[in-house]
Structures are given as structure tokens and as C-alpha cells.
């Protein structure tokens, strides 16, 4: 009996308290003076004792007389609160798009060129799907996974594959979608998103939340406040960001980061109604279940994320989704070519040409080639279409500009000099195209791709690049007698290269210090200024440039016949391919080994 009484004691207390309040209100209004004989009857004061003896009649009179006032007193605050509640609900409603199992046909087989990332992601998903078994073994499944890497490398595609293969709801959210100018709304959006994810987890056994562009809401808080909680900056911007629009100003405020940190790895709470009933009915507490949630973030700027966001227990599993290797590029190109009608193409060659291309760039290359084929009235793309798309992507779209004979000849000798230096002095590069057509603002272009897959550069290769840049200037001096403004950008690139060598990489004779410590990055404008102000570094850089220039001069004078043959071919055809360039060198005896293909590629006409 005592156990039953302990359970019902609190509800009965609430009932008696409400009845007492109702009684006191009626007695108070009776004392003020009401008519209990009807709305039109005389009003009179009733003492509490008499009002208590005639409570039923008095209560009816009070309610009839003040019914409108009571209704207004009750409903007006409710309407005001409801308006604000609806406004905040509207502003804080979920900004996510939920993909349920079976709605996506993208899988891990569609992610090409990133085999190691796919394997790691499959392992994480295997643990996620076996959540209960892993917990029984005493393990803690990964709560957060971070995909970071350059744009276009396949981070969002990996998320689509997860949505198509996990078998649980997949919630897609954009980091920018959480931003709002009103204080507290971004935090409500975060809480609403995770609340919905927990409901899905209870129903489906798990839920995946994917936050794209995580850096827009998870930026480091050190730039907002210092250890004392005061703004590190000052002025009007600080005041506006702190008091007027603290929820906005880019959406990555400190409060939003705090809300995200709490939701990812905070305290797991039981359902509110379950907790309320158990507490008031004196039922024993129930163990709080940990929801099976996996939060995946994607960003191009992982270095800007808050340190607490990437600590163990949150986004602790970091996967770098980088630029694919040559084998990866070949696999990606074959995958996208399989989706379109095409003639046989040399996959190995296009994979070698596209070093540094992301999967998104390779997909765009195939798409542009298909557009060119359709423009020519064909329904199948061929190698020539891929070649033209590659040139347009790397060298720019050819412009309809007619050069005078003198300008065309000067441009041709300039670009021929670049091509000769690339072939003979920068052996790590292979000439791809030489053109005297105006592309991307340049009057002409000699373009060379890296022959082998490289992940760095040796000193000899960097010197080869410098010689390649200076060759156009040297060619103009020899064949035109003076230089023009054309080599300006070439000289700038050569200067940056040589300063980077001696000021950052210790590839000079004396300097062993790196100016990169000034900024924590590689050579930038401030470091160039610092290097040029140092007379020793400036003199050594100037000496290396002169040595490279002299070597280029000796080469071009020795290969004069080949230079003039390449120049004449450019003047006649406007544009020659790398195979045609090497065929010319072989025909004039500049090289003794015939090129891989004596049948050159078709000369590419105006795109």
C-alpha cells in the first residue's frame, strides 16, 4: 500500500493545488463584487464565508460575468506565444534532405580512381552496420568521418555511394544551410537535425548525417574569441557580430560550433515523455541507449576546422580524398567513356596527359568531347574530340584573331624556343602542343606535360623549368634582335622558381634557411619581397638566371635549323601537336631516334 501511495502522491498533490487555486480565484472575484443571480442582476460584494456556502452559484455567476475576460486572459498570451513559436519553428526547421533506402542507385562501384578510400569507407560502414555486435565486444564505433581534399575529388560522390548502400536513412545537409542572422536559430537547426536523426535511428537501426562544406560551420573558434571570452578584434564589426547579428556573420560563429560539438558527442538523453512518466510514477530509471549515428563531414579546408571538432570521438577518422594517380585516371576515364558512345581511344595516353586532373575534371573532359562530337554531326566521340577538349580545358578556347605576318612570325619563333628548351633541357616534360593561336589571353603557347607520375621535383628539373621559361626571350633576342613584352610573364615565373629554390629549398650554394617560416607556407609575395631585399639571395638568383639563359642560347644556336623548321610549320599550320613537333626534329636530324608515331595527329583546327 505504501508503494502505491508513493506513486500517486505527487499527481494528487498537483490536483489539490489546482483546485485550491481555482477556489481562491472564485472567492476573490466574489469579494470584488459580482452578480450570481444572472448577468443582468445587481452586483454586490460577498464575504468569503457566504461565497463558500453558495460556491456553486457564485462560481457560475463569476464565470458567466467574466467569461470573456477569462477567455481573453487565457488565449491572448497563448496566441502571442504561438506566433513566436511558429516563427522560430519556421526559421529553425530542418535544412536537410533525407534519402531513404532504395531511393539512390549509386554505389561504391561508381566511385573510381580512389580504391584505398573506398576500402576504408567500406570498413567504417561495416562497423556501423554491425553496431550492436561491436558494442557487445566493448568497442566504440566511429561517430564521425571526415572527407577532406581538393575540390572535385569525389567526396560528395562517396557520400552518395554511402546513401545507396547503407540501408538506413541518409540525411544530406549543407553547412551553409545552418546559418541564420537571428541569435539561436542556427543552434536550433543543428538540434532539429540530430533530433530527427535519432528518431530515424530508433526506427531503422541507424542513420547517417552528411554535412557538406563542413568548414562553413565548423571553423576554428580561436578567430572569434580569446581565452577570456572577449572578442580578439574591435570596432564596429565586432559590435555587430557580437550583439546585432551574433547568429550570422558567415554562419560559423562560436555558438554554432558549440552546438555541433555537443550534438556529435554530447550526453545521450532518453525520450522526454518516457523520462517524465518514469520520474513522476516513481519507476526505476532505464539505461540510456546510445543511438547509432554516423556523422560524415566533407571539406576542402580541413586546416580551418576547430580542434575540438577533429579530436578523438568526433571527426576522428580522417580520409584524404586526393587527386587520382595515372592508374586511377585511366579507370575513371574508362568508366565515363562506358556511359557514352565512343570509338576506340588510347586510355593510357589520355591518362598520361591529364596528370593533376580530378575525377570531376575527367568527367567534364569526356562530356566536352561528346559535345564536340555532336557539334560535328557525329553520335560517337573519338580521340580527336578528346584531344580538342583537352586543349580547350588546359590551353583555353581558341579565339578568332588574325595576326599580321610579322606578329605571327615573332610569336612562332617565341613558341618554338619554348618547345626546343622543353624537349632538350627539360627532359621530365614532353611537348604536347605548340600553337600561335590566341588562347586564354596569350598570343601563343607551348605546352608540355609531365612524362612520368611525379610527387616532387629535383633541382635539375626545377632548373629545366627555368630554362623552359627563358627560352622565348632568348629566341626573340637571337632571331628578332630585341625582346618584346611577351616574355614578361615567363620572366616572372622563372624568378619565382629560382627564388623558391634558394630561399625555401636550400638549393643554392650558401643559404640553408627557409623564408617559409615567415608565413608558415610556401613562397608567397611576402617571402619574394624578403628574398629580393637580401642582396646575397638576389645576386645568387640573378646568377642562376643568367647561367640558365646562356645554356638556352647555346642550345638554340646549335639547333638553328630545327628552330626555323618548327617556326615555319607554325606559320603555315598555326598549331602543331607534340608528335608533329618530334617528327620535324627527326626529319631535320635534330634527334636520331624516331618518334613513337611517325603518323602525327591531325592538326587541330579552330574549336
- The residues annotated with a catalytic role in the active site are 415
Evaluate whether 334 touches 347 at the Cβ level (below 8 Å).
yes
Residue 100 CB-half CA count within 13 A: 3
Q: Tell me the backbone φ, ψ of residue 96, rounded to 5 degrees.
A: -105, 155
C-alpha cell at 325: 594517380
Chain-centroid distance of CA 246 in Å reads: 24
Strands 429-435 and 575-577: antiparallel
Evaluate whether 498 touches 537 at the Cβ level (below 8 Å).
no
Pick the closest to residue 460 from 538, 524, 544 (CA basis): 544
Q: Tell me the backbone φ, ψ of residue 191, rounded to 5 degrees.
A: -65, -40
Helix, strand, coil percentages in the chain from 3-state DSSP, rounded to 5: 55, 10, 35
Beta strands in 263-371 (DSSP E): 293-299, 317-320
For 211, the 3-state DSSP assignment is strand
C-alpha cell at 13: 498533490
Strand partners, 428: none
Q: Tell me the backbone φ, ψ of residue 591, rounded to 5 degrees.
A: -130, 150
Strand partners, 171: 98, 209
C-alpha cell at 212: 557538406
* Burial group, residue 15, by CB count within 10 angstroms (0-12, 13-18, 19+): exposed
Q: Name every residue whose Cβ is closer than 8 Å to that of residue 365 and which is 6 or more positions away in sequence.
A: 333, 354, 357, 386, 389, 390, 393
What distance in Å separates the CA atoms of residue 294 and residue 210, rounded to the nearest whole number? Answer: 8
Chain-centroid distance of CA 554 in Å reads: 48
Evaluate whether 411 touches 443 at the Cβ level (below 8 Å).
yes
Count of other CB atoms within 10 angstroms of residue 291: 17
Q: Name every residue whose Cβ is closer than 8 Å to that of residue 352 and which is 6 or more positions away in sequence.
A: 326, 449, 451
Query: Given its phi and psi angles, is residue 34 left (phi above 0), alpha (psi -120 to 50 degrees) or beta?
Result: beta
CA dihedral 246, 247, 253, 258 (to 10 degrees): 110
For 542, the 3-state DSSP assignment is helix
Angle at 110 (CA atoms; ends 104, 115), nearest 5 degrees: 135
Question: How far apart, in Å, do the first and last CA atoms of the chain sit?
Answer: 93
Query: Given its phi and psi angles, is residue 465 left (phi above 0), alpha (psi -120 to 50 degrees) or beta?
Result: alpha
Amino acid at each position: 500500500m505504501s508503494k502505491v501511495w508513493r506513486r500517486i502522491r505527487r499527481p494528487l498533490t498537483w490536483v489539490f493545488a489546482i483546485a485550491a487555486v481555482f477556489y481562491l480565484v472564485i472567492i476573490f472575484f466574489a469579494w470584488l463584487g459580482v452578480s450570481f443571480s444572472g448577468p443582468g442582476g445587481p452586483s454586490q460584494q460577498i464575504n468569503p464565508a457566504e461565497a463558500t456556502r453558495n460556491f456553486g452559484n457564485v462560481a457560475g455567476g463569476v464565470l458567466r460575468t467574466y467569461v470573456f475576460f477569462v477567455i481573453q486572459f487565457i488565449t491572448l498570451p497563448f496566441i502571442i506565444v504561438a506566433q513566436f513559436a511558429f516563427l522560430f519553428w519556421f526559421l529553425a526547421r530542418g535544412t536537410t534532405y533525407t534519402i531513404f533506402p532504395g531511393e539512390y542507385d549509386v554505389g561504391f562501384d561508381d566511385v573510381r580512381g580512389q580504391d584505398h578510400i573506398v576500402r576504408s569507407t567500406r570498413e567504417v560502414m561495416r562497423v556501423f552496420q554491425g553496431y550492436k555486435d561491436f558494442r557487445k565486444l566493448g568497442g566504440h564505433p566511429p561517430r564521425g568521418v571526415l572527407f577532406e581534399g581538393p575540390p572535385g575529388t569525389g567526396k560528395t560522390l562517396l557520400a552518395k555511394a554511402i546513401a545507396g548502400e547503407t540501408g538506413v536513412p541518409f540525411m544530406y545537409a549543407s553547412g551553409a544551410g545552418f546559418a541564420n542572422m537571428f541569435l539561436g536559430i542556427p543552434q536550433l537547426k543543428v538540434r532539429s537535425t540530430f533530433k530527427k536523426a535519432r528518431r530515424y535511428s530508433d526506427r531503422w537501426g541507424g542513420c547517417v548525417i552528411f554535412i557538406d562544406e563542413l568548414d562553413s560551420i565548423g571553423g576554428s573558434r580561436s578567430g572569434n574569441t580569446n581565452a577570456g571570452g572577449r572578442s580578439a578584434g574591435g570596432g564596429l564589426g565586432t559590435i555587430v557580430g557580437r550583439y546585432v547579428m551574433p547568429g550570422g556573420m558567415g554562419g560559423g560563429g562560436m555558438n554554432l560550433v558549440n552546438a555541433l560539438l555537443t550534438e556529435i558527442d554530447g550526453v545521450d538523453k532518453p525520450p522526454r515523455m518516457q523520462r517524465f512518466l518514469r520520474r513522476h510514477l516513481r519507476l526505476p530509471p532505464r539505461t540510456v541507449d546510445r543511438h547509432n549515428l554516423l556523422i560524415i563531414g566533407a571539406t576542402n579546408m580541413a586546416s580551418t576546422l576547430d580542434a575540438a571538432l577533429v579530436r578523438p570521438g568526433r571527426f576522428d577518422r580522417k580520409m584524404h580524398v586526393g587527386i587520382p594517380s595515372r592508374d586511377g585516371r585511366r579507370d575513371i576515364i574508362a568508366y565515363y567513356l562506358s556511359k557514352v558512345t565512343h570509338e576506340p581511344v588510347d586510355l593510357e595516353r589520355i591518362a598520361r596527359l591529364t596528370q593533376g586532373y580530378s575525377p570531376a575534371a575527367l568527367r567534364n573532359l569526356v562530356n566536352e568531347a561528346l559535345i564536340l562530337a555532336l557539334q560535328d554531326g557525329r553520335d560517337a566521340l573519338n580521340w580527336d574530340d578528346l584531344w580538342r577538349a583537352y586543349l580547350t580545358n588546359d590551353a583555353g578556347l581558341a579565339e578568332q584573331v588574325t595576326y599580321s605576318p610579322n606578329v605571327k612570325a615573332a610569336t612562332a619563333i617565341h613558341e618554338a624556343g619554348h618547345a626546343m628548351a622543353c624537349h632538350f633541357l627539360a627532359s621530365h616534360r614532353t611537348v604536347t602542343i605548340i600553337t600561335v593561336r590566341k588562347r586564354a589571353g596569350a598570343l601563343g603557347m607551348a605546352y608540355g606535360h609531365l612524362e612520368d607520375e611525379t610527387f616532387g621535383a629535383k633541382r635539375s628539373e626545377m632548373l629545366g623549368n627555368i630554362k623552359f621559361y627563358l627560352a622565348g626571350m632568348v629566341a626573340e633576342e637571337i632571331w628578332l634582335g630585341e625582346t618584346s613584352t611577351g616574355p614578361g610573364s615567363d620572366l616572372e615565373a622563372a624568378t619565382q622558381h629560382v627564388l623558391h629554390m634558394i630561399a625555401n629549398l636550400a638549393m643554392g650554394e650558401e643559404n640553408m634557411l627557409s623564408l617559409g617560416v615567415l608565413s608558415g607556407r610556401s613562397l608567397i609575395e611576402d617571402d619574394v619581397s624578403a628574398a629580393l631585399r637580401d642582396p646575397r639571395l638576389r645576386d645568387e638568383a640573378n646568377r642562376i638566371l643568367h647561367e640558365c639563359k646562356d645554356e638556352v642560347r647555346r642550345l638554340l644556336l646549335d639547333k638553328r635549323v630545327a628552330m626555323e623548321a618548327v617556326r615555319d610549320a607554325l606559320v603555315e599550320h598555326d598549331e602543331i601537336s607534340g608528335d608533329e613537333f618530334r617528327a620535324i626534329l627527326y626529319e631535320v636530324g635534330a634527334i636520331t631516334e624516331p618518334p613513337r608515331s611517325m603518323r602525327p595527329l591531325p592538326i587541330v583546327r579552330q574549336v
